[in-house]
Amino acid sequence: MRDDTSGQASWHTRSRYASPMLQTMHRRVALVAFTLTAVLLAIPTYGQATTEERARARDADRPAPAAERFGADHRDHLDHWWHDATFYHLFVRSFYDSTGDGIGDFRGLIEKLDYLNDGDPNTDTDLGIDAIWLMPIHPAPSYHGYDVADYRAINPEHGTTEDFKAFMEACKARGIRVVIDLVINHSSSRHEWFQKSVDPDSEYRDWYIWRNERPDWRGPWGQNVWHPSPANDGTYYYGIFWHGMPDLNFEHEPVTEAIFDLMRYWLHDMDIDGFRLDAIRHLIEDGPIQENTPATHAWLRRFFDETKRLKPDAFSVGEVWSGTEDVSRYVGDQMDTAFEFGLSYALVDALRDAKAERLVGALREVERVYPLGMYATFLRNHDQPRVMHELGNREELARLAAAIQFTLPGVPFIYYGEELAMSADKPDPQLRTPMPWTDEAGTVGFTTGEPWIAPKPDYETVNVRTQLGDPSSMLTHYQRLIRVRQQEEALRRGELTLLDSSHESVLAFVREFEGERVLCVFNLGAEPVQGLGLNVEPRRGQSLLGDTPADRLSAHGFMIVKLAD
């Protein structure tokens, strides 16, 4: 899924799901100059209501932003374990290969867990994360796994069910929580449910969305969403991303029952700690209205209630690739939190432009629609060019991006390799290359065989072995940021107060919790700044990280200061 760089909802694509023809279309974004609204209004009448009428009805019924539903002063959510956690977003296929077949696996992941968290709070050689989000781990036709063919099984390329259980035991021994991708908007066309559904007389027919004639409306970004049946019987099924991913029909109760049964299996039998919900705003369609429908919100409330019934401390985070206000309509009673795309775009844009105003505006919008910290922060994910690439491969900007992320409210997520300054642009497989453990040519310490995809060419410096223990490395920078956040409750739970500065390149704010205050100041510009013009005196505080507390900042410098009483 893609969003425009303004962070506002318009039209979206998900190139990781697309066929080669659709991938080409996605890369030619400039040619697709229409907005979602224009597309919808141009579509003919569907059923008894026009698309425009359906859109108005949807907007009238949609939930209010979270801050209105729970109150801007709502803080109960801050007591849950995930608000103390740092999440690591991990692709098993590319993390570490223990067998030499060139594909990462769970035994390899177990071998490398000490890099993420060694279980000893007295050491500082591990990264220090508290939770892992695993991208899809089930059998699938694709390399990426977002076309699930069996929701209960482990992808045999990654190991066995026993390997996964051993991985879970190793994580629990270190205090690491585990969240898996729950891809339920659609399945693979090779899933047995869909294979049975192709038969019009099957009890599984209504598990997917079928029509006897092809409807005359298309998808949110102009793509074909109606695909001819494999039976060649003149019927069509709905798949918003492509024909290999037919959408499940959540208006058919047996589908919900099956998904709830799967949740029970993973939360109880496998003892995972929660789910990341993929493409969740597309769950239930209202004719040509294919995102953010009232029925989707209603189903997610059932999902949330069932999750908490099965495991009260289970965590759910949603991918709602949209603008800030739309995302906020999902959190709190449909999922615990959701990824804040608008804030992510604004952070990177502010660094590229060396102007804090863009990010300040996004933070004020976040403050308007969410209770404090009821969202997940990230720099980039597995569908986007890596943040180093987005910042012109300027490590000083990537360091600032991380420092800002880890001092803001919200639940922070790191995409694997971000802590090493890995850089990559599209196409999608290039965003998911092997984790570079060493500077060994060809294998980067990821495998003893041939990697499933070639590692990035900057492995000589961008690797764990070179950076570990180097006080000036990006890895050490991340280790320090994570530990400062863990040590300072104000950075995890504190109120955010934005400060004015006399420099357009300076971002400044205070985090405050139970009388403790932490000042965070960042110079987004390439020139030093003197005379910050803040109404807070940093020189009386204790430096936690960054520049020495003073009324100045170095070029691309920052300071995190615990203020004196």
Q: Measured between alpha carbons, how far is residue 413 from residues 46, 85, 172, 416, 465 in Å?
A: 41, 9, 19, 9, 23
**Residue 218: both structure tokens together:** 């298309």
- For 167-208, the three-class secondary structure string (H helix, E strand, C coil) is HHHHHHHCCCEEEEEECCCECCCCCHHHHHHCCCCCCCHHHE
| Active-site residue identified among 3, 278, 291, 418 | 278
Gyration radius of the chain over CA positions:
24
Q: How far is 243 from 194, CA to CA, in rounded Å? A: 12
Asked if 146 and 140 touch (Cβ cutoff 8 Å), the reply is yes
Q: Measured between alpha carbons, how far is residue 488 from residues 74, 185, 228, 512 in Å?
A: 21, 39, 57, 10
Domains of the chain, earliest start first: 186-247 (3.90.400.10), 495-563 (2.60.40.1180)
Whether this model's pTM surpasses 0.85: yes
319 is catalytic: yes
Q: How far is 351 from 167, CA to CA, in rounded Å? A: 38
Q: How far is 119 from 113, CA to CA, in rounded Å? A: 9
The strands making up 558-562's β-sheet, listed across from edge to edge, are 495-499, 506-513, 516-523, 558-562, 542-546
Q: What is the pLDDT along the chain (565 residues), one digit of tens a residue?
A: 333 333 333 323 344 444 433 443 443 333 333 333 333 333 333 344 566 655 666 666 789 999 999 998 999 999 999 999 999 999 999 999 999 999 999 999 999 999 999 999 999 999 999 999 999 999 999 999 999 999 999 999 999 999 999 999 999 999 999 999 999 999 999 999 999 999 999 999 999 999 999 998 898 888 999 999 999 999 999 999 999 999 999 999 999 999 999 999 999 999 999 999 999 999 999 888 889 999 999 999 999 999 999 999 999 999 999 999 999 999 999 999 999 999 999 999 999 999 999 999 999 999 999 999 999 999 999 999 999 999 999 999 999 999 999 999 999 999 999 999 999 999 999 999 999 999 999 999 999 999 999 999 999 999 999 999 999 999 999 999 999 999 999 999 999 999 999 999 999 999 999 999 999 999 999 999 999 999 898 988 999 999 999 999 999 999 999 998 7
| Active-site residue identified among 319, 365, 390, 418 | 319
| Beta-strand pair 529-530/552-553 | antiparallel
Asked if 475 and 468 touch (Cβ cutoff 8 Å), the reply is yes
| Beta-strand pair 131-134/87-90 | parallel
Q: What is the pLDDT of residue 50?
A: 60
Q: What is the pLDDT of residue 267?
A: 99
How many residues does this entry show for the chain? 565
